[in-house]
């Protein structure tokens, strides 16, 4: 690079003239000598975002660049991300490996980045667990999960609502954090209650003191209450509800209760064993009142709009976000010389384009199957049984269509679906069909690299350290976040990145972009809901950022026509 720069100066060529002609623009420079004291893993994360002449810049400027990259690109400079970065350092949760298909703690290297993955599309402490659940607690959790996920309720029991696999996994994580906090030592940085692991039991959850300690512990840890605490108390209420609560219908759980000084007394245990129904009812009344009190003072910690504010504030949010796809194509390497890197770029391009056209949640997008052109598409009945959609070629419309059964969606009972499948023919715009066919006909197989084919359209790059080509919730989030870091965030030091002021984020934010775009164009919450397969009420509450000035501008546009016509 130094020699090329000298030639440019000698022949009075524009700076970067030769670099622009290189076949691979997505390679990060290596061998930076100015990164002393930086671990190899962090060095790999930083390399892409450092300028080629990083080592030749003054020490003060190098420090400024490193600070910007670490703050803005790597961690994301929001208050919640800073809190999150500190929270993940404290591992305290209880794991249930037999119920979550995860390895026991003893088999995990907590120093290995590949082994530490976090749920990131829900607001929670993204904290890895510290210990596996004791056998009896694990048995109780398995019984609860069976009760809430079984197709048919067991004879003699009643229930209200059923958990799907995703909800079940989420509740396991949430309850694991509750029991982990109770078990953590009060002398540790977690400042838990110190309940011995052998004494942990679901029967504890019928006592108001247990829930009060937990929500107050979370308030001390975060600094204020959020909707998380309300949702957790509501989970406790559902477990103790009259007639349908799992705890209420299992009085034998009181047999495992033990005295916990300062939390559960012998009198509490005796009262619970004598009148389990009454104990559950007392907590139910207490929980209803406590949830209302917390809801009154709860604050929003994670503003979902903050990372994408520059996009939402644009006149055309979708056009602004589309610039990321254009940046991916601009930096795409030559497929003949760098086939795998080119395949990864095409995958990134398709990932963002499909999200912008379909408005799907992460789960539906990452689990989308595909049927190559020329083969008969999968029957809708089979897709319903698998709860997945499919990308296939439509002979009738002569285009690539996406068909997803209603049952595959989180809000499958929404009025949007009316028990009918979601179907959309993708537009052949911006070379979309060309890249879809290029990906299906060769680049996808290049990424799988001989590993078992998961059958999904989007697949991971299979490497020696990871032979699973299927994305899960964590890896798909990280893949999207990497796209926004490399191609989305405008880097003033390297000239890469499409959008100034953007911060790293996950795929769920695309739904905010789509809803806000339609609101700015039409002012209709109903039309905005069509773009993300939801209801106008949900858009108004969670997705659309439609400010008073946007409403006024839309009204002025119509009123000003009177003056223009005069």
**Which pLDDT value is given to residue 371?**
94
Model pLDDT for residues 318-341, shown as the tens digit of each residue: 999 999 999 999 999 888 989 999
Give the model's pLDDT for residue 105: 36
Provide the strand spans (E) within 405-513. 422-425
Mean pLDDT of all residues in 149-169: 90
CA distance 512 to 317: 9
pLDDT score of 37? 73
State the chain's maximal CA–CA distance in angstroms: 94
DSSP E strands in 15-111: the ranges are 93-95
From the centroid of its chain, how far is CA 148? 24
pTM over the 0.85 mark: no
Per-residue confidence (pLDDT) for residue 40, from 0 to 100: 78
Contacts of 231 (CB under 8 A, 6+ apart): none
- Measured CA to CA in angstroms, residue 297 lies from 225, 287, 435 at distances of 7, 16, 50
Q: How far is CA 478 from CA 6, 239, 461, in A?
A: 39, 34, 13
Lowest mean per-residue pLDDT among 239-253, 447-461, 509-523, 548-562:
548-562
pLDDT band at residue 104, thresholds of 50, 70 and 90?
A: very low
The answer, yes or no, to whether residue 77 has pLDDT greater than 70, is no
- What is the helix, strand, coil percentage profile of the chain, to 5? 55, 5, 40
With cut-offs at 50, 70 and 90, classify the pLDDT of residue 87. Answer: low
As a whole number of Å, the CA-based R_g of the chain is 27
Mean of the per-residue pLDDT values of the chain: 87
Give first-to-last CA distance, the chain, whole Å.
62
pLDDT average, residue stretch 148-155: 92
pLDDT at 103 over 50: no
| pLDDT above 60 (res 129) | no
The model's pLDDT over 378-432, given as tens digits with 9 standing for 90+, comes to: 999 999 999 999 999 999 999 999 999 999 998 888 888 888 999 999 999 999 9
Q: How confident is the model at residue 108 (pLDDT cuts 50, 70, 90)?
A: very low
Q: State residue 472 phi and psi, 5-degree precision.
A: -120, -175
401 within 8 A of 369, measured Cβ to Cβ: no
SS (H, E, C) 282-295: HHHHHHHHHHHHHH
Asked whether 543 and 515 are in contact (CB, 8 A), the reply is yes
- Specify burial of residue 61 (Cβ count, 10 A radius: 0-12, 13-18, 19+): middle
d(C-alpha 558, C-alpha 566), whole Å: 14
More confident call, 103 vs 52: 52
Q: For position 558, what pLDDT does the model report?
A: 81
Q: How many alpha carbons lie under 13 Å from residue 360 in its C-beta half-sphere? A: 27
User: At 125, which helix (H) or strand (E)?
Assistant: none
- Given a contact cutoff of 8 angstroms between Cβ atoms, the answer to whether 324 and 488 are in contact is yes
Look at residue 120 in the predicted model and tell me its pLDDT: 34
Which H helix or E strand runs over 537? helix 536-538
By mean pLDDT, which of 24-28, 232-236, 325-329, 371-375 is the weakest? 24-28
**Helix pair 509-522, 548-565: axis angle to 10 deg:** 30
How far CA 416 is from CA of 282, 355, 527, in Å, comes to 40, 19, 11
Q: What is the pLDDT of residues 425-442, one digit of tens each?
A: 999 999 999 999 999 999
The token pair at 556 is 């002025």
pLDDT at 100: 72
> 10 Å Cβ neighbour count for 255?
10
* Cα-based torsion angle of the residue sequence 144, 146, 148, 149 in order, rounded to the nearest 10 degrees: 150
- Condensed to tens digits (0 to 9), the pLDDT of residues 479-508 reads 999 999 999 999 999 889 999 999 999 999
- Closest by CA to 332, choosing from 24, 20, 21, 17, is 24
């Amino acid at each position: 690079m130094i020699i090329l720069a000298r030639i440019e100066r000698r022949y009075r060529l524009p700076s970067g003239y030769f670099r622009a002609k290189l076949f691979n623009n997505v390679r990060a420079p290596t061998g930076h000598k100015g990164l002393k004291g930086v671990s190899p893993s962090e060095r790999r994360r930083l390399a892409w975002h450092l300028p080629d002449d990083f080592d030749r810049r003054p020490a003060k400027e190098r420090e400024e660049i490193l600070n910007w990259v670490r703050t803005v690109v790597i961690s994301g400079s929001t208050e919640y991300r800073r809190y999150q970065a500190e929270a993940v350092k404290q591992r305290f949760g209880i794991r249930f490996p037999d119920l979550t298909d995860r390895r026991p703690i003893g088999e995990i290297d907590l120093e290995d980045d590949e082994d530490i993955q976090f749920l990131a599309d829900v607001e929670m402490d993204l904290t890895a667990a510290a210990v596996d659940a004791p056998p009896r607690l694990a048995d109780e959790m398995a019984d609860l999960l069976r009760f809430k996920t079984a197709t048919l309720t067991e004879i003699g029991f009643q229930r209200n609502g059923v958990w799907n696999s995703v909800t079940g996994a989420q509740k396991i994580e949430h309850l694991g954090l509750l029991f982990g906090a109770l078990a953590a030592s009060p002398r540790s940085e977690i400042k838990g209650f110190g309940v011995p692991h052998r004494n942990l039991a679901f029967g504890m959850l019928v006592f108001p003191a247990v829930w009060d300690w937990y929500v107050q512990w979370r308030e001390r840890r975060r600094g204020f209450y959020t909707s998380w605490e309300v949702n957790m108390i509501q989970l406790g209420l559902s477990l103790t509800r009259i007639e349908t609560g799992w705890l209420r219908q299992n009085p034998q759980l009181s047999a495992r209760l033990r005295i916990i000084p300062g939390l559960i007394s012998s009198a509490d245990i005796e009262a619970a064993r004598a009148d389990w129904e009454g104990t559950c009812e007392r907590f139910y009344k207490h929980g209803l009142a406590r949830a209302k009190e917390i809801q009154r003072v709860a604050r929003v910690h994670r503003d979902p709009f903050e990372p994408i504010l520059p996009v939402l504030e644009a006149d055309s949010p979708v056009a602004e976000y589309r610039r990321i796809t254009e940046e991916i194509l601009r930096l795409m390497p030559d497929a003949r010389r760098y086939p795998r890197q080119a395949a990864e770029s095409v995958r990134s391009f398709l990932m963002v384009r499909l999200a912008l056209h379909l408005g799907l949640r992460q789960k539906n997008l990452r689990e989308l199957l595909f049927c190559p052109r020329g083969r008969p598409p999968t029957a809708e009945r089979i897709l319903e049984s698998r709860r997945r959609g499919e990308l296939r070629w439509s002979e009738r419309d002569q285009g690539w269509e996406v068909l997803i059964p209603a049952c595959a969606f989180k809000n499958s009972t929404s009025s949007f679906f009316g028990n009918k499948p979601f179907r959309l023919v993708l537009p052949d715009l911006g070379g979309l069909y060309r890249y879809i066919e290029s990906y299906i006909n060769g680049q996808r197989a290049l990424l799988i690299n001989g590993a078992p084919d998961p059958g999904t359209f989007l697949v991971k790059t299979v490497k020696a350290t990871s032979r699973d080509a299927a994305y899960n919730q964590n890896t798909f989030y990280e893949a999207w976040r990497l796209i926004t870091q490399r191609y989305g965030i405008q880097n003033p030091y390297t000239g890469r990145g499409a959008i100034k002021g953007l911060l790293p984020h996950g795929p769920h934010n695309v739904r905010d972009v789509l809803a806000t775009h339609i609101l700015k164009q039409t002012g209709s919450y109903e039309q905005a809901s069509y773009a993300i397969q939801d209801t106008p009420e949900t858009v108004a509450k969670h997705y659309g950022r439609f400010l008073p000035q946007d409403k006024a501008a839309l009204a002025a546009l119509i009123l000003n026509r009177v003056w223009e016509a005069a």
